[in-house]
Chains A and B, each alone.
Chain A
C-alpha cells in the first residue's frame, strides 16, 4: 500500500546549521509529494510540494526534490533559524484519491540560538 516514512526526531540544531530531514515513500503510480509544517499551537501549513519526478519544491529557504529512482523527498535548508522550530510532516497524495493525504509520523525540529 501507499506509505510515507520519515526520520524520527527530535532533531536539535544550532542556529545557522544545515538541516536534512529524510523522507521516503511507497506508492503505486506517481503521487504528488508534500512537506507540511506545524508550528506550536497552529494548524498544519503547506511548506512546499512537487508533483512529478525531478521537480524541486522550495519555500522559505527550504527545498525538496522529488526523486523517483530513490522514492525520496528529503527536506533541506542551508541555514536554520530559531523560528524554524516546528514539527515537519512529509506526505503524499496518490492519484484519484480526492485529496487523501498520507502522512509520515512527523519530525520535531528544535533550533537553539
Chain B
C-alpha cells in the first residue's frame, strides 16, 4: 500500500495562532485526500475531502474558514488551523484514496495538536 507521512507529529501552540499540518504521499500520486479529526476515545470524524487542484469539500459543521485545506499537488495536502482555540486540540489524521477496485484509504500516522 501507499506510504503516507504527516508533519509535525506533535505540536503545541498558543490560542489565536495558526498551525499548518502537512500530509505527504511518499510513493503514490493521490488525487483525493481526506482529513479526519479524532477526539480521545472517540471515532475518527471526517472533516473534509481534498481534491488536487480544486477546493476541498467540507463536512457539515466543519468551518472552512477555520480549517483551511490546500491540495496543491498530487503528493501534498495541508491543513491549516487558523486562530486556534483550546477546543481545537485534537488528533488530526490524513489519508489518501487508493486506486484499487475498493475504496481503500491509506492513513498517515496523525498529528497531535494541543492549543494552550
Please determine whether A51 and B102 come into contact, CB atoms closer than 8 angstroms. yes
Q: On chain A, which size bracket covers the interface? A: 20 to 34
Q: Is the contact region of chain B dominated by helix, strand, or loop, or is it mixed?
A: strand
Instruction: Give the A-B contact count at a CB cut-off of 8 A.
Output: 57
Cα A104 to Cα B42 with chains together (Å) = 8
- Least CB distance from A43 to B in Å reads 4
CB < 8 Å neighbour of A105 from B43, B93, B97, B104:
B43
Given A89-B43, A98-B32, A100-B46, residue A42 in contact with residue B109 (CB < 8 A): yes
**What is the chain B residue whose CB lies nearest that of A50?**
B102
Q: On chain B, which size bracket covers the interface? A: 20 to 34
Q: Which of A46, A99, A105 is the most central at the interface, judged by chain B CB atoms within 10 Å of its CB?
A: A99
Cα A4 to Cα B46 with chains together (Å) = 14
> Is A27 interfacial (CB-CB < 8 Å)?
no
B18-56: contact bitstring with A at CB < 8 Å (1 yes, 0 no)?
000000000000001010000001111010010000000
Please determine whether A43 and B105 come into contact, CB atoms closer than 8 angstroms. no
Chain A residues within 8 Å of B103, by CB: 32, 93, 97-99, 101
Chain B residues within 8 Å of A59, by CB: none
A66-103: contact bitstring with B at CB < 8 Å (1 yes, 0 no)?
00000000000000000000000100010001111111
Cα A93 to Cα B49 with chains together (Å) = 14
11 A-B pairs in the complex with CB atoms less than 8 angstroms apart: A4-B43, A32-B103, A41-B109, A46-B1, A49-B102, A89-B43, A89-B44, A93-B103, A98-B97, A102-B46, A105-B42
Show the binding face of B for A, using Cβ within 8 Å: 1, 4, 32, 34, 41-44, 46, 49, 93, 95, 97, 102-110
Show the binding face of A for B, using Cβ within 8 Å: 4, 32, 36, 41-46, 49, 51, 89, 93, 97-106
